[in-house]
Amino acid sequence: MAERVFLDWNAGAPLHPEACAALIAALEVVGNPSSVHAEGRAARNLVETAREEVAALVGAAPRNVTFTSGGSEANTLALTPHWQMGRETRPLGRLLVSAIEHPSVLAGGRFPTNAVGFLPVTPHGVVELAALDDRLSVLRADSGDTRPLVSIMHVNNETGVVQPIAAAAERVHAAGGLLHVDAVQSAGRIACEIDVLGADLMTLSGHKIGAPKGVGALVRRDAGLHLADPLVKGGGQERGFRAGTEAVALISAFGAAARAARRDRERNAAAMVVLRDRLEGALKAGSPELVVIGAEAARAPGTSLVALPGLKAETAVIALDLAGFAVSSGSACSSGKVGASHVLAAMGTPAALAASAVRVGLGPTTTEHHIDAFTTAWNTLARGLSREGRGIAA
């Protein structure tokens, strides 16, 4: 069987060898991390070591990391009116989210539907800061006793476009609000320090950086930020932010993946920029009409959302899969759904072009050989489409 080439790293990274080793080792630890005996302390040590590694990935204090079952739970935990900071008693009465967020953010968490507003993006996929200014001004004028919670992802999962988080944070804090950042696609791939970005809350996902599926984290910038009403209540684990016995093996593997991602980030990023440019150059050379969506904005390395007019994305994904290449026609979280990408709709991308968009996600183990093999397969597919359009039998 020919080698398969995995080019869907945005959906999930292969298990990193160091994470795999940590996972297997932790499975041998029998203690409950809440127990005080030696076995329990051994389990607790694994959890706290991983907490330090995950915190270091985003420049946070370990005590501010709360482990969850993944990014979606962390987003839902973050999006609540019940955050308190020091003596601040004004409620978080309004949630503003960008129109290109992950579905778990667009759902609004525990805010009532009528308290959720949406921020537009430019045709290049960048959140419109002027619109954020306008919304914050209206909120101050209409309800001065209510603070906003704003949620903007750091890197979009479909386009790879990097959002102006630090600039948004300045505006949100000037309005007395809090900023949540979904950093699932950025942590370990680009610089993502919570203090530098100014995010108050940050979501991470283990399987995006080579940990097993089923583990993530919500990170606070300030230990004084208190959650008055946790999403999961019970035994008081995770400093009261999330009840339930910690998934020791998954968390230990997450820590190992975070350590590797932080260590190798700059080297991996530099390599992926070269490969992404090689990919897009070859695709454009074969099909000059091909569009790289989001190319005029700052993008994280490793993500290419390409659209070839006349090509049906679902057909392309199936054909490429049969040829040995794993790519996606959009967010993996939306697979199986019928309808256009909400991200491309928010960008104003014409429907016909959006219907042809295929996401190619590169990772640390992607090679020039993989890129060249893929572009050959893609250009063969494109030539077949061209023959069909001219009525020539294949």
Return the active site residues.
333
CB distance 283 to 307 below 8 Å? no
Q: Kindly list the distances between the CA atom of residue 216 and the CA atoms of 149, 187, 264, in Å, as whole numbers in the listed order.
A: 21, 12, 20
Residue that is written with structure tokens 């030539």 in the block: 383
CB distance 296 to 124 below 8 Å? yes
Backbone φ, ψ for residue 342 (5° rounding):
-70, -25
Rounded CA-CA distance 50/252 in Å is: 5
Backbone φ, ψ for residue 5 (5° rounding):
-115, 120
* CB-based contacts of 349, cutoff 8 Å, min separation 6: 123, 293, 307, 357
Q: Which residues pair with 50 in a beta bridge?
A: none
Report how far apart the first and last C-alpha atoms of the chain are (Å, whole number).
Answer: 25
**Beta sheet of 291-292, edge-to-edge order:** 291-292, 303-307, 357-361
Rounded CA-CA distance 191/266 in Å is: 9
β-pairing, 178-182 with 201-205?
parallel
CB distance 98 to 153 below 8 Å? yes
